[in-house]
Chain A
Amino acid sequence: KQEVTQIPAALSVPEGENLVLNCSFTDSAIYNLQWFRQDPGKGLTSLLLIQSSQREQTSGRLNASLDKSSGRSTLYIAASQPGDSATYLCAVRPGWGSARQLTFGSGTQLTVLP
Chain B
Amino acid sequence: NAGVTQTPKFQVLKTGQSMTLQCAQDMNHNSMYWYRQDPGMGLRLIYYSASEGTTDKGEVPNGYNVSRLNKREFSLRLESAAPSQTSVYFCASTDSFSSYEQYFGPGTRLTVT
Contacts and interface: CB of A to CB of B under 8 A. Distances in A.
Interface of A: 31-32, 34, 36, 41-46, 49, 51, 89, 91, 93, 98-102, 104-107
B58 interface: yes
A101 B33 contact: yes
Contacts of B101: 32, 34, 46, 49
Contact of B100 (A44, A100, A106): A100
B96 interface: yes
Interface of B: 31, 33, 42-43, 45, 48-51, 54, 56, 58, 90, 92, 94, 96, 99-107, 109
Contacts of A34: 101-102
A51 B92 CA distance: 19
Given A98-B50, A107-B42, A46 B99 contact: no
Contacts of B102: 34, 46, 91, 93, 102
Contacts of B103: 46
Main secondary structure of the interface of A (DSSP, over half): strand
Contacts of A98: 50-51, 54, 56
B50 A104 contact: no
Contacts of A93: 100, 102
A99 B48 contact: yes
A34 B49 CA distance: 20
Given A49-B100, A98-B56, 10 more contacts: A43-B105, A49-B99, A51-B99, A98-B50, A98-B54, A99-B33, A99-B94, A100-B96, A100-B100, A104-B43
